[in-house]
Amino acid sequence: MLTLKIPHTLSEFTQNYYYKTELVKLCQQYKLPTSGTKAELNSYIIKYFKGIPSSQIKPIRNNSKHRPLPYSKISWLCPYNWCKF
């Protein structure tokens, strides 16, 4: 297994191809967000190399989970015309 060469400039970073797992490792190294798509991880690293402090680089997507619908909100009444029992 090859070791990951850590880029130190934007030029070094953009001249290489990285798998998502490698981008996650780079983000960990630079203390950047580690969740998201490959494109999002790339954008975090590019922002870092453009001089934005890692503390100011926030995840693009909010990872908040949807709360389940409470039982009190569930009804047998269907709001649509096509739904007739």
84, exposed or middle or buried, with CB in 10 Å at 0-12, 13-18, 19+?
exposed
| pLDDT score recorded for residue 38 | 96
- pLDDT above 60 for 81: no
| pLDDT score recorded for residue 7 | 93
CB-based contact 48:57 (threshold 8 Å): yes
Q: Which of 62, 11, 2, 66 is nearest to 33 (CA)?
A: 62
Average confidence score pLDDT of the chain: 85
Q: Which of 17, 18, 29, 27 is nearest to 47 (CA)?
A: 27
Helices (H), 1-85: 10-14, 20-29, 38-49
